[in-house]
């Protein structure tokens, strides 16, 4: 099984990016490592800032509505401000994608390849983890031999944004696995008993 290095970053949807930037940089002691404006398509886009403190990277995103509502604004309409995705850093993204796909995991688009000033960056999004839940996962591979990317790549972020916009356009809400054909081994009653067992 391929190795997982840890959490690469956590991404939050926010309503007011300057306010969130102030919170993280002036109050919480993070510093900005990357930013990009108007990343998306001619239909909608977002502004983004990535802040870091120690090893912890947090990406902040605010939507821009153009001819259609930004997926960031739609996310906030449905779920409120907060975590949109968690990026897991892996040492071999292709191996993990194969492993997960064999388990029935569904991804939103193909793996994206970019390069920052330090090295190659490969990223891929899953669909949301649960029905009626906005949270999804990202796989990130930064280490490639002696090179290791440290920030983000505008073209990649744009491509990932467009994948979600395309999925949003279909009006169909997909999940990371097909819960119809791959139900988790709990009915509502068993789930209640299982959580009782864990709690006791």
Interface with Fe ion (CB under 5 A): 11, 87, 138
**In the complex, minimum distance from the CB of residue 31 to Fe ion, in angstroms, rounded to a whole number:** 18
* Residue in this structure with the two tokens 């696995």, named with its chain if needed: 177
Please report how close the Cβ of residue 59 comes to Fe ion at its closest, in angstroms: 6
C-alpha torsion angle, residues 37, 39, 9, 18 (rounded to 10): 30
Q: Which is nearer to Fe ion, 53 or 192 (CB)?
A: 53
Closest to Fe ion by CB, 6 vs 185, is 6
CB of 23 within 8 A of CB of 58?
Answer: no
Burial (0-12, 13-18, 19+ Cβ within 10 Å), 199: exposed
* Cβ distance to Fe ion smaller for residue 58 or 73: 58
Cα(93)–Cα(89) distance, integer angstroms: 9
When the beta carbons of 11 and 126 are compared against Fe ion, the nearer one is 11
Which residue pairs from 77-80 have beta carbons closer than 8 angstroms and sit at least 24 positions apart in sequence?
78/134, 79/133, 79/134
Q: Whole-number minimum distance, CB 196 to Fe ion, in Å?
A: 36
| Residue 87: CB minimum distance to Fe ion, A | 4
Q: Which residues contact 181 (CB under 8 A, 6 or more apart)?
A: 104
Closest contact distance (angstroms) between CB of 109 and Fe ion is 13
Sign of the alpha-carbon dihedral angle for 104, 105, 108, 109: negative
Beta carbon nearer to Fe ion, 44 or 125: 125
CB of 153 to Fe ion, least distance (A): 11
Judged by beta carbon, residue 155 or residue 182, the one nearer Fe ion is: 155
Tokens 């997982």, located at residue:
4
């Amino acid at each position: 099984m391929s190795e997982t290095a840890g959490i690469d970053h956590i991404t939050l949807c926010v309503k007011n990016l300057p306010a969130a930037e102030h919170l993280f940089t002036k109050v919480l002691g993070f510093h900005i490592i990357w930013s990009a404006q108007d990343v998306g398509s001619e239909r909608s886009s977002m502004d983004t800032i990535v802040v870091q403190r120690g090893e912890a990277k947090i990406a902040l995103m605010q939507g821009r509505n153009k001819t259609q509502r930004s997926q960031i604004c739609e996310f906030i309409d449905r779920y409120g401000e907060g975590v949109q995705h968690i990026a897991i850093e892996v040492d071999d993204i292709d191996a993990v994608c194969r492993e997960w796909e064999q388990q029935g995991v569904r991804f939103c688009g193909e793996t994206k390849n970019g390069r920052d000033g330090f090295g190659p960056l490969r990223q891929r999004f899953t669909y949301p983890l649960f029905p009626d839940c906005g949270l999804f996962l990202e796989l990130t591979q930064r280490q490639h031999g002696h090179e290791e990317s440290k920030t983000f790549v505008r073209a990649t972020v744009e491509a990932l944004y467009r994948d979600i916009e395309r999925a949003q356009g279909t009006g169909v809400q997909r999940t990371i696995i097909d819960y119809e054909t791959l139900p988790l081994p709990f009915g509502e009653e068993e789930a209640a008993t299982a959580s009782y067992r864990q709690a006791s």
